[in-house]
Amino acid sequence: MKFEIQHTNIFNYESEVDQSLNTIRLKPRGDERQRLLSYRIAITPSSLTREHLDIWGNTVGTFYIPEQHKELEIQSTSIVSIQRAPFIHRIHYSPEMQTIFHSQLFYEHYLPYIKKTSFTYVTDNQLNEIYHAIGHAENPVLFSLNLMQYLYSSFEYDPGATDISTTATQAFALKRGVCQDFSHVMIAVLRAKGIPARYVSGYLYVDENSSLIGDIATHAWVEVMIPGIGWVGLDPTNNVEVLENHIILCIGRDFADVSPVEGVYTGGKHDLTVKVSVKALNYL
């Protein structure tokens, strides 16, 4: 399928800003599943961006606005083509895959996605609560699917319960949150089990007949490394495998690695308005 994504961030400052230096991660990635066909960025006040790849392979743009301004608008327009991924629940977890999973080489190679971060940490009591509910399956595919189902069933989607600074431990205690929180908790539990897991930010296409949630702004989900297969996506907010409705923007250890827009400026407080539109071009 082919999608057009429009993502707009509008910063309204309470007073004139003298200058600002900004970082954006708004360019969708390309891989064997997703192909980036076009990308355009428009910034007001006008500014040129410089791009580089970060350590995770994400495209990072930076731009500087020297003149005074009271509003900053950043709009990206992208067109991507998505190829349906294989169904994860159909993966046969073989003894050879198990041997690779327990090897030192596998552990060292994916260590950044196994170590806990300040966002992806849960307590022993919280882990035991999950193990009591879903068991200790040694098959990482089965364990990941069971964990996704548990989070979807046990947590409530509540945009007002958390903010971007909420950790997995805090979200677990609340048993509520948004896609960022669902993903952080899932990643924390997977890493505690020794399963490499990474945070994915992106967009979700939801048609008029779909029950999926998370398309109002950027969405988040989890990718799990399965030996011999590669990274496979799971969306705990919706309890679905990542097939063709999920469009990858950036990947990292947690939200801190993939924040879409960051900046520093001289001035007072600001309000932020975010608008995201995902349109399926195949149906036009």
In order, the DSSP letters of 212-225 are: ----SS-EEEEEEE
CATH 2.60.40.2250 domain position(s) in the chain:
2-82+259-283
Question: Residues 63-120: pLDDT tens digits?
Answer: 999 988 999 999 999 999 998 766 677 778 889 999 999 999 999 999 999 999 999 9
Q: Check whether 135 has a pLDDT greater than 50.
A: yes
Of the candidate CATH numbers 3.20.20.100, 3.30.1340.10, 3.10.620.30, 2.40.50.100, the domain formed by 88-257 belongs to 3.10.620.30
Q: Which fold has domain 2-82+259-283?
A: Immunoglobulin-like (2.60.40)
Token pair of 125, please? 């009591």
Question: How many Cα atoms sit within 13 Å of 187 on the Cβ side?
Answer: 33
CA nearest to 178, candidates 220, 149, 148: 220
pTM comes to 0.94
State the Cα angle at 56 between 139 and 91, rounded to 5°.
25
CB–CB of 252/57 below 8 Å?
Answer: no
Rounded distance between C-alpha atoms, residue 83 and residue 33, angstroms? 5
Question: Residues 163-196: pLDDT tens digits?
Answer: 999 999 999 999 999 999 999 999 999 999 999 9
Question: Residues 199-218: pLDDT tens digits?
Answer: 999 999 998 777 888 778 89
CATH 3.10.620.30 domain position(s) in the chain:
88-257
